[in-house]
Structure 1
Amino acid sequence: MSKSPDAFRSIGEVSRLVGVAPHVLRYWESQFPQLAPVKRADGRRYYRPDDVRLAAGLCQVMREEGLSIRGARRLIAADRGLGLREIGAARLGERQDVAPPAAPAAPESTRPPRRASRPAESLPLFERPAAAPDWLARLVTAAARLRRQELQGRALPDRARQLRMALRDPR
């Protein structure tokens, strides 16, 4: 019998889902305040689904993409971790139509104007998504999209294939 997608997960379950050791998750908790599982009185950690998505997103950008802790902190600060949670959901194979939890509302005077939202799949490859306002977030998002496209067996655009070959050339 499997758990509900909304169930809390132990640190062992999360480490198996995400693909990192439990001590790495505990270290990430110390480095990223947004990754804060619920702790019982006896010290056991239980991760909410949102925490699991964030941990999976951190694993993707830090382990697979080679981003530093400082870079991951900047990504989280840019959009309160929503972009990383989307990357984590894609890594875990979750449905994309599930909406992430709503972020706390900002005061009306400081809220930027809203853009019309579109599904992530309809975004052009290098357009700035609303959730990732800086160049680093755009780069990570584009790399994740290209990797997904390759894993699904679809051909890469010519320019992306040329760039990949140029980067792999050992000159």
Structure 2
Amino acid sequence: MKISKNMQNGLNNQISLEANASNIYLSMASWCEVIGYEGGASFFYAQSDEERAHMLKIVHYLNNLGIPATIPATKLPSSDFKSLESILKTALKNEQAVTSAIHKLVEIAQKDKDHSTYAFLEWFVNEQVQEETKFETLIQKFELIGRDKIAINEIDKILASSVASANSTGSV
């Protein structure tokens, strides 16, 4: 099967975006671990693994088409975070950027009448709905529970339990 050069470039760019997202989440996990947010650390380590899995999904898709995937260098992620709430807001913005990029790939697939890649990308479209909802819900906890030390501790516990429940269902 052939895909357009435009789609190849788009998928390779998405590989880069997913790799950078993985590193951003790894940096967030490291920060959480140092600060003492054990739940946040577990949550963001799992998010980092998930983004790497997304990257590999695209790498395998291209390779299975006989198109060597471009493995990118990654950008140095920030490690200067202010709070657990600010990290979650940054993560939501990152997920929104990924969603936008996936939607652009879907538009290319539609324009190219590339039904196979369109079907492949539908998984990512659905995944991004879940990702954005997850972060929006977590950020909402600050409004519901508060921002004092006890509230932040409870939110950290929520992050830990979300990893535990995701591990039991097979998704983060």
TM range (shorter): under 0.3
TM-score relative to the length of structure 2: 0.27
* Between structures 1 and 2, the one with greater strand share: 1
* Between structures 1 and 2, the one with greater helix share: 2
TM-score relative to the length of structure 1: 0.27
The answer to which structure, 1 or 2, has the higher relative contact order (CA under 8 A, 6+ apart) is 2
